[in-house]
Homo-oligomer: A and B are copies of this chain.
Amino acid sequence: MSINSFGRLFRFATWGESHGPAIGALVDGCPPGLALTEADIQPWLDRRRPGADPLTSTRAEPDRVRILSGTYEGRTTGTPISLMIDNVDAQPRDYPADAPHRPGHADQAYDAKYGLRDPRGGGRASARETAARVAASAIARLVIPEVGIEARVIEIGGEPEAARWPALIEAAREAGSSLGAIVECVATGAAAGWGAPVHAKLDAELAAAIMSINAVKGVEIGAGFAAARLRGEDNADPAHSGGITGGIATGGPILLRAAFKPASSVPLLGVSGRHDPCVAIRGAPVVEAMVALVLADHKLLHRAQCG
């Protein structure tokens, strides 16, 4: 992972501010000859799109992706694939340049780092950046057709019972509050051997990929924090490993969980803008995206070294 992109062989970088003209991703190292048009990417974006679900943000972006390079007659050519999504619903007037730092947000950190920042809607720190990741991951999925990836919310506001979530969320919205949640992801079909023993462990890379999603504050693989309460004789059960031992995939299902904190910009605190009462709902497709991107990269890495 470079400072400017994710991945080693199947790599991508994202660009764009929440309220600038567009956002995008540059995908490189993609194998040639894969069937790819916008229609392979759009459904994943639609699934992540804000406004699609009444329980999420009211920002209504069509999120139409365009492929600007790297394909010819519907197939990847092996050269860089440039993806662009226009920002249609940008409302920079929501964010005056002299807006105070929003508590719990990255505003202050950006100022500390760069001495200036784009104050419009969180800039790079906006959840909107993840649309570009989802677009890139649609290509990653073409590299690993043998892999199935499914992420879902398993707990909201401490409540594992899904039937009670709509009421919880509605109450939070009315109270001007927001809720944290836990997302679980299972990936099946990753071949035994993907990963590396020390410096690019598959679990370490997944941890970085998941922790790089906005609002994620914790990651666990397999038994995770519960493993800290197991005994050695229990731990030999392969179910606890989450499909990875010694940094290398065992061939079994890869299981991980991510803890999403609640969004901090709640009307309660007098911060304007359009926000979700539970960002993790839209975070689940992003978790899937990051897992797909890591696995595609490791499939190529394994093929390179081990043939």
Contact = CB atoms under 8 A, between A and B. Distances in A.
A240 B260 CA distance: 12
A228 B259 contact: yes
A106 B110 CA distance: 41
Interface stretch (A43-51, A54-62, A197-205): A197-205
This chain's copy number in the assembly = 4
A235 B180 contact: yes
Interface string A218-236: 1111111111111111111
Given A106-B247, A112-B251, A301-B304, A236 B212 contact: no
Contacts of A197: 79, 106, 110, 124-125
Interface in A86-112: 97, 103-106, 108-110, 112
Contacts of A230: 180, 261-262
Interface in A113-158: 113-120, 123-125, 129, 155, 157-158
Contact of A232 (B78, B178, B259): B178
A5 interface: yes
Nearest to A120: B72
Interface residues of A, number: 144
A37 interface: no
A220 B124 CA distance: 23
List the 4 closest pairs (A to B, CB-CB), nearest first: A106-B246, A178-B232, A218-B220, A304-B304
Interface of A: 1-6, 8-9, 11, 13-17, 20-24, 26, 28-33, 66, 68-70, 72-73, 75, 77-82, 84, 97, 103-106, 108-110, 112-120, 123-125, 129, 155, 157-158, 172, 177-182, 192-201, 203-212, 214, 217-238, 240-242, 244-251, 259-266, 268-269, 280, 300-307
